Amino acid sequence: MEESSNVKKVESGKKQFEMPEMVKNIGAADKNYRVGAGGALVIVGLFGSKIWLFLGLLLLATVWFGICPIYAFLKHNTL
């Protein structure tokens, strides 16, 4: 049986399970929205609650890496 190119076998003790590799799943339009929203949340977070700062940085990190873990979990792709 052939392995899929984006699946990595991981051994944990005696059990072996498959873990999908993180592949880019954020398209250009989605990146633009995330940069705008992330930048706004960072600015709000600098003067307000730090949770907004964290969420803004999280959105900007997904743009930087091009990977959204939630999209990967839901098998969604905007490329």
Confidence of residue 75 (pLDDT cuts 50, 70, 90): confident
- Residue 61 pLDDT exceeds 60: yes
**19 in Cβ contact with 10 (< 8 Å):** yes
Distance CA 30, CA 2 (A): 33
- What pLDDT digit, counting tens, does each position of 27-49 carry? 999 999 999 999 999 999 999 99
**Sequence spans of domains, the chain:** 27-79
Shortest CA distance to 31 belongs to which of 56, 66, 57, 72?
Answer: 66
**38 in Cβ contact with 57 (< 8 Å):** yes
Would you state the pLDDT for residue 1? 46
Which residue's entry shows tokens 């991981």? 10
In this prediction, what percent of the chain has a pLDDT beyond 90?
49
